[in-house]
Amino acid sequence: MRPTAIVFDLYGTLLRIDSLAQAAEAAGASDPAGFVELWRHKQIEYTWCLSLMQDYRDFDTLTARALDYTCAQVGLVLTPAARRALAGAWLTVTPYDDVAPTLRALRTRNVPLGVLTNGVRASAERALHASGIRDLLDDVLSVEAVRVYKPDPRVYKLATARFACDPERILFVSSNGWDASGAAGFGFAVAWCNRSGRPAETLGYPPITTLKKLDDVLGLLS
């Protein structure tokens, strides 16, 4: 296929959420990986709740509130400084090893590359710069522009507006199954990057293909 643009989800697709475990351990979490998993689950749950409530709080705010909930759930007491440091660790999450090589290879194909994220744009930009991959992307699109979260169709429409094309001309790559389903329902050609071997979603909006790792996307452009 020859898409008009390739658009990536950010957190969990390009940047490793599990890299937060080191910060969680430094903050005193007894099970750092489990703590991060609970935190991420609550963070996304809050985005869905607010979208259904037709309310909006930015992603940084929800991340901090989800952190408070997770600390309460596991009995971890943080000082204000420790809370700020742990919430701020989202600005320095590391990319997967295959991300930079894949983006560099895609740049040689002359296909525009973008990110479509739930995150605050300024925070996403900082995380991308910190990870050393911002210069490999043409644009960063944030839900801030529409004040609602994925999988609301208004979010995915940001990409079709930015790249001036129909949904099926966007190749959308996400590691989050629910995001892949939402994007497929909108009409994107979706490549689900299923690094962790999770079962496929059963909502009825399947991806056009499932990738085991991000660089598998290169084969789609042959």
Contacts 24+ apart (CB under 8 A), 179-184: 179/9, 179/150, 179/151, 180/207, 181/151, 181/205, 181/206, 182/150, 182/151, 182/152, 182/156, 183/151, 183/156, 184/208
Give the model's pLDDT for residue 169.
Answer: 98
Give the model's pLDDT for residue 144.
Answer: 98
Give the model's pLDDT for residue 109.
Answer: 93
173-192, pLDDT tens digit by residue? 999 999 999 999 999 999 99
Give the model's pLDDT for residue 131.
Answer: 97
d(CA 50, CA 205): 23
Give the model's pLDDT for residue 137.
Answer: 98
Question: Is residue 9 flagged as an active site residue?
Answer: yes
- Spell out the domains of the chain, with CATH numbers in brackets: 5-16+93-221 (3.40.50.1000), 17-92 (1.10.150.240)
Give the model's pLDDT for residue 46.
Answer: 98
Give the model's pLDDT for residue 104.
Answer: 97
E runs forming strands in the chain: 5-8, 113-117, 139-142, 170-174, 189-193, 209-211
Other C-beta atoms closer than 10 Å to the C-beta of 17 total 17
Give the model's pLDDT for residue 156.
Answer: 98
Give the model's pLDDT for residue 43.
Answer: 98
pTM of the model: 0.96
Give the model's pLDDT for residue 135.
Answer: 98
| Type of residue at 54 | Q
Q: Which residues of the chain have pLDDT under 50?
A: none
Give the model's pLDDT for residue 1.
Answer: 78
Spatial CB neighbours of 80, under 8 Å, sequence gap ≥ 6? none
Instruction: Report the chain's mean pLDDT, rounded to a whole number.
Output: 97
Give the model's pLDDT for residue 164.
Answer: 98
